Amino acid sequence: MDLEVDIVVIGGGMAGLVAGIRATEEGMKTVLLRKGQSATAYSSGAIDVIGYLPGGTMPLGSPVEGLQGIASMYPLHPYGLLGFTDAEPDTVSKTIVEKVRMAVSWLKATLLGSNIPLFGDIDSNLDAVTVLGTVKPTCMIQETMWPGSLMLDADGVALFAGVRGLPVFNPRMAAQVFLEHQISNRLLPRKAGHHVLDLAPFGNNYNISSIEIARYLDNEDNLSVLAKKLKKQVERIGATHIALPPVLGFNRARENQLALQDLTGAHVFELLSFPPSVPGLRLQRGLETAFVNGGGTLLVGHHAKMESLKSNIVKKVTAVGPRRNFKISTKAVVLATGKFIGGGITGTENGIRESVFDLMTVSESFRNATSTTPQKLTNTIALSHKGHPLFGSGLSVDPQFRPITGEEVHAAENLYAAGSVLAGYNYPAEKSGLGVAIVTGYMASRNAVDYVKGVSA
Amino acid sequence: MAKYDVVVIGGGSTGTAVARDCAMRGLKILLLERDDIASATTGACAGMISSGLKYMDEPNIVDMCSDEVVNFKRIARHVMEKNPIITPLLEMSDISSGGNFAEEYSKRAETRDVPPVLFLTPEDSLKIEPTLNPDLIASIYFEEYFISPFALCMLQALDAKQHGADIKTYCEVTDILTKKGSITGVQYFNRITDKMESAKTRAIVNAAGPWAHKIAALAGAKLELRLNKGAHVILDRRVVNVGVIAKAIEGRMIYLFPHENTVLLGTTALDTWEDPDTLVASQDEIEYLLKSMEWVVPSIRDARIIRTMEGVRPLIPTWKIPEGDVTRGYEVIDHEPEGVSGLISFAGGKLVMCRHMAEAATDLVCKNFGIEAECRTHIEPLPGNSDDVDILALAKEYGVSQHTVERMRARRGTEIVMILELTRDHPEWKTTICTCEPVIEAELRYAIRATFPQTLNDLRRRIRLGTGPCQGTFCTFKAATILAEELELSGADFQLEIVDFLAERWKGKRQSIRGEQIAQEELAQGIYACVGNLDQALERLDYDLKPWEEVL
């Protein structure tokens, strides 16, 4: 089977889906290939834009503040590239902030009517609480994950409620870490309690996963069981807020949150958690639904194959599936294959490689990394605010987000890249992962659409 | 001040064996270990209790090794496995030493319950191990026993404890006290209480491995060692059915040995003067091992490397000969003739000899004390080896998977009933915490209560937490909450526990990081830095840089 489209998007995480949805909104015939599960689906579901400057140790009060810092100090950061337009030098920072605002607001509007409405904007970072009880700055979270007035309420009492047999969340330790943090930083609230609920979804009381509980709670009848148990604990300690692991459901999370609040009289919210992540999967599903509803073609379980780039224009991409291959003729390509988790970038003892087109890779500091041993791009310290340069390696792109080759010219006229396949930002340290994916996906798509409209005219 | 007959310094295979032997002979024992049980040389070995194949020129040693294998089968069969080993021959020159070895090995095979050496055709070799290079002309087949080095040390320590010994981990000896040339006591820094402590003793057995010369120096005694480092590359699963031995690029022999759920590729042998605490496997060592094994197992580079480890051998100081020609025997050195009475040190030795070394040292201690007491360490079983374990019945009775029960049995033998009993009151403790190994919560709780771990790293040595392909990505934070609950840690110490464990795992992962392990690490960074925000917590938590992190 052969397909003929305007735009092929390779990669189905945040960057690819944003690019795909935007392209369909512009009337482009779009096909998106997703090989496997994306890093977006593994994410906590919180949307970081920028939480710390590169190598920084002060949490940023707002993404705007961070973007202004990047504009002046890190011009090659993917956010910095947004300023490389025809704008005057003194408006670079403003251009970057406006482009990020546009993309982020667009995403929020896109998911407004879905079952995962978002909360927050780039004018302030939120303090999101994790299942460890730690706090991290993030830009937007799903409404079900918003702690409400918890950190403003002098009389607030947080109840950390876990589920027996769910090992990902220990409410006692989370409450302790959270309270120690708030008190040592003179923050609110000053009281927290913890409890382990006997929920036994589907009859199990051990080896339970968040996904199992989310499915259980997608059934309306099961919610009252949880509500009753929570209410008893709320009354016991006088809780004003209930922190749950992210298990409120795939389809009914928001309704469940509101219903639990009604039934318990406390504000209910989900904590940020680790894979497998229900909010990450909700985000993935929400975006895929938007893409397909907008007329896009989604090919799951297919990866793209391209022997090498010979001409200056990519005309065909082969989609390789488990039982079928097909050739897709296209006018433009958005490469959003991710980094090492997604498989867009790989590393062997011989160097760092890009997997579909074998494009030139660079290190975080933009040195050619095609034959750099991955170990050389790491620090001796496992976990530090400096991160490992390895996770800032990837593709170098021009201001149009087209990958460039060694001679600093773009690899192809109609090939654009977005998301974590890009070099120059260290998302685990900066807390900027999904934000860069959204903005670069948005811009790469816009440039691809402009290109297609130009050649079609 | 506490008074002891003997202070044993070092909690490796030899030190724990000495503590056990002395305690069983009725002596009052204190064992001091600067880190944790089996945390250095012993913890970095492949666990082979060799029948002596490398030392065919030293028949006494071969006899001793063979006898010790039989002894271990008697006292510790629950933490042992027997592995077939194939040495493929690609050309006639590979066979040079084959004849003599086969004869020596086969002579003692029956006592160890293994077949004599077999020569296999290429067809039979490939049937047993399909990953071998099909161009082989023949292969040599034999069988060797392996023991879990961590379990062995732990069980020896626990058994010593049961016989009245005091075992103190995280206690580093800072001074040895003498009076008129005789040992009177030790001073040590206790890192758990953060205090200097001391104990009186009549004798010290120095089993400090690569630090033994430094311990001897504290008493004014002289000890020379030839320190020699060795690296292992660890593969994520059993990529081979059997052990494979091959000739390395410069003619030494290297191996690929199944080990627990993994396979070990080792080892290098390089004379070293570095601080053992800072050593990691080098790029050169990793590539040397891969290049050498690639000739006989061509697909070796397709395997997923999860990490490397590096250990230091305290060899007997024979110089101006290659490492391989240094005797693998051991020496028990009484420092009395040089004017330090009561101090006994070890040099050399192998894992397989640890019990024998302990017996020799304890005999000497008893002789010096004028005590007559029989050694029983080769007769009395170690804890958990009192009976067979019915995996299928236990799995059914407690509703835990057979695989989980079997892995548990391989660590604790009959004692697993006590672990499984915990799930009667706490069915949620049947939850799998480390999915790679696997380890259930009940085993974690039991290990914390019964085997004195202080950190997650100690738990790793006891129950193999975080040793699989994910290297702690998914279990570290879960296990840390359990440790924190059991030890009543503060929130800050709980976070520090996570960061410390990740630091130790990274030490081994970093040197060989490539392929799928990079994606694995991205996931780990995603969990602990991106979401958990612990990368920003080091300063707030008073994180101490580890020795290998301070090196430029």
pLDDT digits over A262-272, tens only? 999 999 999 99
Q: Is A117's pLDDT higher than 90?
A: yes
Mean pLDDT of B442-449: 98
- Do the Cβ atoms of A207 and B519 come within 8 Å? no
Asked whether residue A88 is assigned to any structural domain, the reply reads no
Contacts of B503 in chain A (CB under 8 A): 381-383
Integer Cα distance of A403 and A14 in angstroms = 19
Q: Model confidence over B390-416: pLDDT tens digits?
A: 999 999 999 999 999 999 999 999 999
Q: Model confidence over B340-376: pLDDT tens digits?
A: 999 999 999 999 999 999 999 999 999 999 999 999 9
* Contact by Cβ (8 Å): A156, A122: no
Of A350, A321, A342, the C-alpha closest to A427 is A342
Q: Model confidence over B476-492: pLDDT tens digits?
A: 999 999 999 999 999 99
Q: Is A408's pLDDT higher than 70?
A: no
Compute the nearest-CA separation of A294 from chain B (Å): 31
Integer Cα distance of B433 and B441 in angstroms = 6
* Contact by Cβ (8 Å): A247, A204: no
- E strand or H helix at B523: helix B516-525
Q: Is B508's pLDDT higher than 80?
A: yes
- Tell whether A177 lies on the interface with B, counting CB pairs under 8 A: yes
Claim to verify: residue A221 and residue A316 sit in the same structural domain: no
Integer Cα distance of B185 and A293 in angstroms = 80
* Cis peptide preceding B438, ω within 30 of 0: yes
**Among all residues of chain B, which has the CA nearest to that of A130?**
B532
Q: Which of residues 381-400 of A touch B (CB under 8 A)?
A: 381-385, 387-388, 390-391
pLDDT for B59: 86
Q: How confident is the model at residue A1 (pLDDT cuts 50, 70, 90)?
A: low
Question: Could you say which DSSP state residue B530 is in?
Answer: I
Asked whether residue A111 is assigned to any structural domain, the reply reads no
- Do the Cβ atoms of B441 and A167 come within 8 Å? yes
Which percentage of chain A shows pLDDT scores above 70? 99
Q: Is B466's pLDDT higher than 80?
A: yes
**Among all residues of chain A, which has the CA nearest to that of B488?**
A173
Contacts of A434 in chain B (CB under 8 A): none
Of A272, A302, A320, the last residue of a domain is A272
Which two structure tokens, joined as six digits, stand for B417? 């009933």
Integer Cα distance of B126 and B275 in angstroms = 43
Claim to verify: residue A204 and residue A303 sit in the same structural domain: no
* Weakest mean pLDDT among A187-191, B96-100, B175-179: B96-100
Which two structure tokens, joined as six digits, stand for A304? 């793209």
**Which residues lie below 8 Å from residue B70, measured CB to CB, with a gap of 6+?**
B111, B112
Burial class of residue B329 in the structure, from the number of CB atoms within 10 Å of its CB (0-12 exposed, 13-18 middle, 19+ buried): middle
**What stretches of B111-269 adopt beta strand conformation (E)?**
118-120, 138-147, 166-168, 171-179, 182-190, 195-206, 226-235, 243-247, 253-259, 262-266
Integer Cα distance of A440 and A433 in angstroms = 11
Residue A220: domain span: 131-272
Asked whether residue A9 is assigned to any structural domain, the reply reads yes
Q: Model confidence over A124-173: pLDDT tens digits?
A: 999 999 999 999 999 999 999 999 999 998 999 999 999 999 999 999 99
Claim to verify: residue A327 and residue A438 sit in the same structural domain: yes
Q: Is B101's pLDDT higher than 90?
A: no
Claim to verify: residue A292 and residue A324 sit in the same structural domain: yes
Integer Cα distance of B79 and B92 in angstroms = 38
Q: How far is CA A89 from CA A75, A94, B65, in A?
A: 12, 10, 77
Of A272, A296, A328, the last residue of a domain is A272
Which two structure tokens, joined as six digits, stand for A375? 């170990």
Asked whether residue A33 is assigned to any structural domain, the reply reads yes
Q: Is A17's pLDDT higher than 70?
A: yes
DSSP-assigned states of every residue in B228-289: EEEEEEEESS--SSSEEEEE-TTS-EEEEEEETTEEEEE---EE--S-TTT----HHHHHHH
pLDDT for B82: 95
Claim to verify: residue A189 and residue A334 sit in the same structural domain: no
Compute the nearest-CA separation of A55 from chain B (Å): 10
**ipTM score:** 0.97
Q: Is A87's pLDDT higher than 70?
A: no
pLDDT for B539: 86
Which percentage of chain A shows pLDDT scores above 90? 92
Q: Which of A173, A181, A283 to mutate to test the interface with B (most CBs of B within 10 A)?
A: A173
Q: How many CA atoms lie within 13 A of A212 on its CB side?
A: 17
**Among all residues of chain B, which has the CA nearest to that of A176?**
B491
Integer Cα distance of A87 and B99 in angstroms = 81
Integer Cα distance of B463 and B228 in angstroms = 28
Q: Which domains does chain B have, with CATH numbers?
A: 3-41+150-224+328-369 (3.50.50.60), 84-143+226-320 (3.30.9.10), 391-550 (no CATH)
Claim to verify: residue A217 and residue A243 sit in the same structural domain: yes
Q: How far is CA B62 from CA B54, B57, B142, in A?
A: 9, 9, 15
Mean pLDDT of A324-337: 95
- E strand or H helix at B127: helix B122-128
pLDDT for A53: 97
Integer Cα distance of A380 and B506 in angstroms = 8
Integer Cα distance of B450 and B158 in angstroms = 9
Compute the nearest-CA separation of B533 from chain A (Å): 6
Which two structure tokens, joined as six digits, stand for B507? 């030490």
* Cis peptide preceding A276, ω within 30 of 0: yes
Q: What CATH code is carried by the domain that includes residue A181?
A: 3.40.50
Asked whether residue A140 is assigned to any structural domain, the reply reads yes
Asked whether residue A328 is assigned to any structural domain, the reply reads yes
Q: Which of A179, A380, A427 sits opposite B548 (nearest CB)?
A: A380
Which two structure tokens, joined as six digits, stand for A387? 């991160």
Q: How many domains does chain A have?
A: 2
Integer Cα distance of A127 and A183 in angstroms = 15
Q: Is A205's pLDDT higher than 80?
A: yes
Q: Model confidence over A367-388: pLDDT tens digits?
A: 999 999 999 999 999 999 999 9
Q: Which of residues 254-293 of A touch B (CB under 8 A)?
A: 272-275
Q: Which of residues 418-447 of A touch B (CB under 8 A)?
A: 427-429, 431, 433
Of A272, A289, A312, the last residue of a domain is A272
- Do the Cβ atoms of A130 and B531 come within 8 Å? yes
Q: Which residues of A307-316 are buried (b: 16+ CB within 10 A; e: fewer)?
A: eebeeeebee
**Under the phi-then-psi rule, with left for phi > 0, alpha for psi from -120 to 50, and beta for the rest, what region is A276?**
beta
Compute the nearest-CA separation of A252 from chain B (Å): 24
- Do the Cβ atoms of A382 and B515 come within 8 Å? no
Claim to verify: residue A392 and residue A267 sit in the same structural domain: no
* Contact by Cβ (8 Å): B38, B154: yes
Q: How far is CA A74 from CA A365, A367, A399, A400, in A?
A: 10, 15, 14, 17
Compute the nearest-CA separation of B484 from chain A (Å): 8
Q: What CATH code is carried by the domain that includes residue A309?
A: 3.50.50.60
Count of CB pairs separated by less than 8 Å, A with B:
174
Q: What are the start-end ranges of the H helices in B280-319? A: 283-294
Q: Which residues of B465-481 are buried (b: 16+ CB within 10 A; e: fewer)?
A: bbbbbbbbbbbbbbbbb
Which two structure tokens, joined as six digits, stand for A138? 């993030």
Of B487, B491, B474, B506, the C-alpha closest to B537 is B491
Q: Model confidence over B18-66: pLDDT tens digits?
A: 999 999 999 999 999 999 999 999 999 999 998 877 777 788 899 999 9
Q: Which of B427, B495, B539 sits opposite A206 (nearest CB)?
A: B427
**B226-235 and B262-266 beta bridge pairing:** antiparallel
Question: Could you say which DSSP state residue B142 is in?
Answer: E
Mean pLDDT of A254-278: 97
Q: Give, to the nearest 10 degrees, the angle between helix A433-456 and helix A92-110.
A: 90
Integer Cα distance of B139 and B391 in angstroms = 35
pLDDT for A84: 87
Claim to verify: residue A266 and residue A340 sit in the same structural domain: no
Claim to verify: residue A422 and residue A285 sit in the same structural domain: yes
Q: Model confidence over A24-62: pLDDT tens digits?
A: 999 999 999 999 999 999 999 999 999 999 999 999 999
Q: How high does pLDDT run on average in chain A? A: 95
- Tell whether A337 lies on the interface with B, counting CB pairs under 8 A: no
Of B9, B16, B512, B14, the C-alpha closest to B308 is B512
Q: Which of residues 115-134 of A touch B (CB under 8 A)?
A: 130-134
pLDDT for B260: 92
Maximum distance among all Cα pairs of chain B, rounded to whole angstroms: 70
Compute the nearest-CA separation of B551 from chain A (Å): 8
Q: How far is CA A45 from CA A212, A258, A282, in A?
A: 18, 19, 8
Contacts of B533 in chain A (CB under 8 A): 130, 134-136, 431
Q: How confident is the model at residue A90 (pLDDT cuts 50, 70, 90)?
A: confident
Claim to verify: residue A326 and residue A431 sit in the same structural domain: yes
pLDDT for B97: 57
**What stretches of B267-392 adopt beta strand conformation (E)?**
270-271, 305-315, 330-334, 343-348
DSSP-assigned states of every residue in A329-379: E-SEEEE---STTTTSEEEETTEEEETTT---EE-TTS-B-TT--GGGG--
Q: Model confidence over B144-194: pLDDT tens digits?
A: 999 999 999 999 999 999 999 999 999 999 999 999 999 999 999 999 999
- Do the Cβ atoms of A375 and B513 come within 8 Å? yes
Asked whether residue A136 is assigned to any structural domain, the reply reads yes
Q: Position B153: which residue type?
A: C
Q: Is A85's pLDDT higher than 70?
A: yes
Asked whether residue A29 is assigned to any structural domain, the reply reads yes
- Do the Cβ atoms of B478 and A207 come within 8 Å? no
Claim to verify: residue A348 and residue A439 sit in the same structural domain: yes
Mean pLDDT of A387-414: 92
The β-bridge partners of B195 are B190
pLDDT for B121: 97
Contacts of B526 in chain A (CB under 8 A): 39, 42-43, 275, 341, 428, 433
Claim to verify: residue A357 and residue A448 sit in the same structural domain: yes
pLDDT for A406: 74
Q: Which residues of B163-175 are buried (b: 16+ CB within 10 A; e: fewer)?
A: bebbbbbbbebee
Q: How high does pLDDT run on average in chain B? A: 95
